[in-house]
Amino acid sequence: MKRIFTILCLALACANMGAQDISGGIEAMGFSRIVRSATRAGMAHSGAASVSQRGAFAPFSMVPFQGGVMDASFSFSRWNPQGMPASHFALGAAGLLKGRYGISGSAVYQTGAPEGGFAPSDLHISLGVARGLSEHFSFGFGGHFVSSKLTASDRLSGFALDASVAFRTGGFSALVGLTQLGSASLGDDVYPMASSVTLAVSYGHNFGDHRVEGNVDADFYLARGVIVAGGLQYSWRETAFVRGGYHWASKDAVLPSFATVGAGARVHGVTIDAAFLLGGPLSGTMTFGVGYGF
């Protein structure tokens, strides 16, 4: 048991690219709570209830509100470049059938810096479905498989479930749900994952060619820790975007506090986004995304 605990405190810290070592927490798979959408990354990881986000990396219950039939997205992050640098690659897709049934899936692979001939790596695969219950309500449910290669001979793996309800009326939308409720195992030992109750609200308003959207998200982790993120997005003709936000975390949360800025452009269904993380131990992290939707 002592050997396993040592592995989780040291090797898992590398694999999780700053999530575990910064918090000092014992939850496994903290990296799985990193937002992969470059749009939301630019708003300090807020925007879970935003109707302007890409459906591919959105909470499952938001897919019926994505405003299109299909979305495919790719993102790349250079995470924690001043500490334990890592590269994150994410690919996702979402589709809407008959205007009310949604399906989405994504795969994330990330690898840390090699040390002694070994490079820690993580894999996160998600698949979910959603149903629009009415013009205003939708429900989503899905699962996650998450795996961390801790050392050359040790791998931590686990499964988790999501369930959420989303609401939308006019420019206002909200979401409430359980996020990544599950556990991970290493041999005979089982560890809780970074599970939380998620609450999110979003409001956007048009001023002619201009639109301003505000987002506030809160995650209350079941083991310990609270994270509250707030972000703003300005857009011109739904073509050019500027974003910013602040991510506040309690000292024992799975991710630290930081600020972000971001920008993006959308032309003929193709979207390009970039986000930069400022301040705190993860300062300098960059996320870039490209997507296509119709």
Q: Which whole number is the average pLDDT over 110-131?
A: 92
Q: How confident is the model at residue 26 (pLDDT cuts 50, 70, 90)?
A: low
Q: Which two tokens stand for residue 219?
A: 């995650």
User: Which CATH number covers residue 144?
Assistant: 2.40.160.60
**Domain boundaries, position 173:** 2-293
- For residue 27, list its beta bridge partners: none
Distance CA 167, CA 189 (A): 39
Cβ atoms 124, 144 nearer than 8 A: yes
Q: Summarize the confidence of residues 121-137 as an average pLDDT.
A: 96
CA distance 152 to 120: 8
Q: Which residue would you say has higher pLDDT here, 8 or 51?
A: 51
DSSP for 37-66? Answer: -HHHHTTTT--TT-TTS-GGGS-GGGGGGS
Q: Is the dihedral of CA 200, 206, 207, 210 positive or negative?
A: positive
The residue-averaged pLDDT of 109-137 equals 93
Q: Is the pLDDT of residue 13 over 80?
A: no
Q: What is the mean pLDDT of residues 252-264?
A: 96
Q: Whole-model pTM?
A: 0.89
Domain total in the chain = 1
Range 127-147 average pLDDT: 97
217 closest CA partner among 203, 206, 227: 227
The pLDDT value recorded for residue 238 is: 93
So what's the pLDDT on residue 28? 85
* pLDDT at residue 42 is higher than 80: yes
**Each residue's pLDDT tens digit, 62-79:** 999 987 789 999 999 999
Q: What is the DSSP letter of 63?
A: G
Mean pLDDT, the chain, as a whole number? 89
